[in-house]
Amino acid sequence: MKKTSIIFLIFMFSSCVSMKNINQLENIKSVPYLGNCDDAIFWNFVKQKDNIPILIEKLTDETILKGVYVPNFGEEYTVADVALIILQEKIKDIPILEIIGKELDENCGYCVYWNFVRKSKNNRIELKNNLEKWFRLNKSKLFWVDCDYSLTGDCKSQVKGHYEIKK
């Protein structure tokens, strides 16, 4: 009985620490893109091994990151946007457009994603729920690959690798 209580307390403590830490997403000042690769908070989240579920939970957080703009598409990033980019830096080839049921737009390319998530909170909820399902299906197939380069920016990776899915 005591052993179970201790394990539960350790789990609760680690969950509280993770929840407190996740609020640091709001303090990110730059996202990897054309050399913006030095935000310590961003890379700290990428380095953490066990935060994928909590990052998925943040995919509906529309808190705006003041002064941190989405290149080529405009508007400021939200916590949800940055959580997704961190996930994409951790796991190679997450099929985001497939997850939201969209295809690249021949006129604007990836804007189809931005238009989808900015249209409504329900769309962000759909993204979160579908990515959660995708992760559950693929979690056991993830393996670590050493790599010097970022998956999301034109720079070196500060974690020197990422996860890929066994085919």
pLDDT, position 92: 96
pLDDT, position 9: 41
Residue closest to 127 by CA, chosen among 160, 102, 161, 159: 102
Average pLDDT across each block of 10 residues of the chain; the chain has 167 residues. List them in order: 47 46 91 81 92 97 91 86 96 96 89 93 98 97 93 88 93
Q: Where are the domains of the chain?
A: 33-165
DSSP string, 88-129: HHHBTT--HHHHTT---BTTTBTHHHHHHHHH-HHHHHHHHH
Cβ–Cβ < 8 Å for 113, 103: no
pTM of the model as a whole: 0.86
pLDDT, position 13: 41
